[in-house]
A and B are shown apart, each in its own frame.
Chain A
């Protein structure tokens, strides 16, 4: 009995010590930078950010169905706005934390040229794309192909990843020869780290403004507010920039 109460007490103490945790839902393209930022955040503020990654569409579905997230880092601006309108997020808190860049990438060092002509020339069997219905980077990829007039000819070759991370996995394993993913997934020291890629010019797709928002469950939670502020701070911005995102 004594043991049990000691155990319960220590569990309680553990729970209070961890009270300033924040549950964060993160769009898959921001996985890399957010893992770095969360370490800095914990170091600088003492708060702990627990991260869950997924496509923005899935995270939205989870949040509207009661998922315990307190902050959302979306891959678009529509989803946070919609969540505010529907009462799942706190009005006035959405802000653009990063502007995403799209890249056409292949693990093969020779396949993708610097102007993306490979889309017109062909010579590949599969082009991977995140599901355009739920992932903004997938939608942007579709937009690029439509603008270049190759959407119809490439459509039969498209394979869809469930989110941008799985799309990257399809390409990096070579199962799909090339595909549209986020620049942040392949950037290393300011350039495309491996394989070959084409950083798609911004005029071929609508800017991917990625908004963060405090969700209703994170309202008045110090750690949630602290994270929101931390994302606007110099250290976080430096990390975000180093992953190839543009800043607002």
Chain B
């Protein structure tokens, strides 16, 4: 049914989304924590920066990333001097781009989850002489688990749905940067509508299933409190 190149694109997309989600779990958690706990003046600006990819056209992000990561850009010169080469047209280039692109989808649900925990459990933990790290792992993590699940699922799904940024820095290389959304675009451009339909149906089914799973298992709001 699906061609080999379709399967290759799906597998690549899955890998990209998984790696991006893992990286954003590590990067997004401390950011969300600071945003949830801080009362400092920079909370507003930081929150705005995190939310930027929600409103920026992917072409803006793609354009800046292409220039920054190219051989004449600051990031490109850094990666080249580290012996890593330049990032455009590579899998890791897409990972970096996706991490920016999906950042708000990780941070915002986590921030909400952290905020809804409130000060009380942390204060109790502190009176029991739990260290901050201990508090985080034995109090915050379990309480914020639904937030982590939502954030992870949304980040994964949003990365799967990425298109514009990949188009601008990917270079459409089979197995490296030709993700499913680009493959569909290619099929449509080449008038291979039957192929486009098959892959598009897979994407539609996947996206719906993910969102359905999330909405079905979302707990009902507790009464009172």
Binding site for B on A (CB under 8 A): 55, 57-58, 60-61, 125-126, 128, 131, 133-134, 158-162, 166, 169-170, 173-176
Contacts and interface: CB of A to CB of B under 8 A. Distances in A.
Contacts of A176: 88-89, 171
Contacts of B190: 57, 133-134
Q: Report the 7 A-B pairs with minimum CB-CB distance, sorted nearest first.
A: A159-B171, A160-B172, A175-B88, A175-B70, A133-B190, A174-B71, A159-B89
A173 B75 CA distance: 14
Contact of A158 (B71, B173, B189): B173
Interface string B46-86: 00000000000000000000110111100000000000011
A231 B66 CA distance: 37
By size class, the interface of chain B is: 20 to 34
Contacts of B71: 174-175
A57 B189 contact: yes
Contacts of A162: 167, 172, 185
A156 B188 CA distance: 24
Output the residue of B66, B172, B188 with the most chain A CB within 10 A. Answer: B172
Contacts of B173: 158-160
24 contacts: A55-B189, A57-B189, A57-B190, A57-B191, A61-B188, A125-B86, A133-B189, A158-B173, A159-B89, A159-B173, A160-B171, A160-B172, A161-B172, A162-B185, A166-B168, A174-B70, A174-B71, A174-B72, A175-B66, A175-B69, A175-B71, A175-B88, A176-B88, A176-B171
Nearest to B185: A162
A131 B189 contact: yes
A125 B84 CA distance: 13
A57 B85 CA distance: 33
Nearest to A169: B66
A126 B89 contact: yes
